[in-house]
Amino acid sequence: MIPTAWPLAVSAVLFTIGIIGVLVRRNAIVIFMSVELMLNAANLAFVAFGDALKTLDGQVFVFFVMAVAAAEVAVGLAIIVNLFRLRESVFVDEINLLKG
Amino acid sequence: MIPALFIGFSLLLLVSGLMVVLHKSPVTSAMFLVVAFCALAGIYILLHAEFIGMVQVIVYAGAIMVLFLFVIMYLNLGHDPEHGATILLRRLIGWIAGALVVLQGAMLFAGRWALGPTSTEAPPLGGNTQALGQLLYSRFLFPFEITSLVLLVAMVGAIVISKGRSTRTPDPIPHAPHAGLQAVLRPGDTVTPPTPPGGGEA
């Protein structure tokens, strides 16, 4: 039997790794991968709490999060492809269309 | 046994997650992301979420990563010059991996890895998948249907976005009268009359 604190600690560390990736990397695709890491950290927390509380609701939420993540990846990669056509680059420092 | 497996999967997950962030080449990052997702699937199974673990492998490590790799390939981002030493090393790793697969198959068929049931209590009939399916189609039916709508919208949106505005669509009405065309022309534009197909004027 695994203590509930263990997967939660792993989830927290994984989320932190994802945040570091989003903040440090400049390649838009790697930033997307880091976002996926963060989503998976949240999923792990859901499953861990569901296991601790002996309920399936956490797994149902993970199911929905996976569907939303698939949708997000499809749309996001389409945006990256379009951006690459426009700018010939996927490095977010060179993309300032919104003048932010 | 189970805590040791959990620690092993967690270490694999965190190390490959770090490699996703730290590695220079996007292709290698994507490969480490596949490893991370598979390790996470193992953790899910250890936490009694068998269906989620399988879906993790199929959807994340399968479909989503194929999408990532396809875009990396399409944009030609994986600048990976192959030097002589590297390709020899890769061949060596390939042979080792192939030998491992053959060895695993042999041991599996020899029955050496038949561990037997680890827990004395029998799993419930139908298991995790049936329970999750019944929950999805009863209490969570409305969110489940909304999910299908989300996926449809994402599919249409991805197609519309990736078609893009950069490609100019051909004029849908080639024989439109000039009065209609001038409405969208700004002053200063040069107008060339459309040539009819077949060269009727000549």
pLDDT digits (tens, 9 = 90+) for B48-79: 899 999 999 999 989 999 999 999 888 876 65
Query: Quick check: B166 and A85 in contact, CB under 8 A?
Result: yes
Q: Which amino acid is at A65?
A: V
Measured at the alpha carbon of residue B57, what is the angle toward residues B89 and A80, in degrees to the nearest 5? 80
| B13/A contact by beta carbon, under 8 A | yes
Whether this prediction's pTM lies above 0.95 is answered by no
The 10 Å Cβ neighbour count of residue B119 is 7
* Residues of B with Cβ-Cβ distance to A72 under 8 angstroms: 154
pLDDT by residue (tens digit) across A14-67?
A: 999 999 999 998 889 999 999 999 999 999 999 999 999 988 999 999 999 999
Phi/psi-derived region of residue A99, left when phi > 0, alpha when psi is between -120 and 50, beta in every other case: left
Domain boundaries, chain B: 1-78, 128-165
What ipTM does this complex have? 0.91
Measured at the alpha carbon of residue B105, what is the angle toward residues B87 and B4, in degrees to the nearest 5? 85
**Structural class in CATH, domain B1-78:** mainly alpha
Does B118 have pLDDT greater than 70? no
Distance in angstroms (rounded) separating the CA atoms of residues B100 and A47: 32
| B28/A contact by beta carbon, under 8 A | no
| B152/A contact by beta carbon, under 8 A | no
Domains along chain A with CATH numbers: 5-94 (1.10.287.3510)
| Nearest residue of chain B to residue A12 (CA atoms) | B14
Residues 6+ apart with CB under 8 A from B173: B180
Query: What percent of chain B has pLDDT above 70?
Result: 69
- Both tokens of residue A20? 């570091």
**Average pLDDT along chain B:** 80
End-to-end CA distance of chain B: 87
* Residues of B with Cβ-Cβ distance to A58 under 8 angstroms: 49
Q: Inspect the interface and report whether the beta carbons of B17 and A25 lie closer than 8 Å.
A: no
- Both tokens of residue A45? 């927390």
* C-alpha distances in Å from residue B191, one per residue of B99, B103, B168, B183: 70, 73, 17, 12
Q: Which of A34, A78, A90 is closest, CB to CB, to B162? A: A78
What are the start-end ranges of the H helices in B76-126?
Answer: 84-110
* Residues of A with Cβ-Cβ distance to B75 under 8 angstroms: 29, 80-81, 84, 90
- Both tokens of residue B171? 């004029």
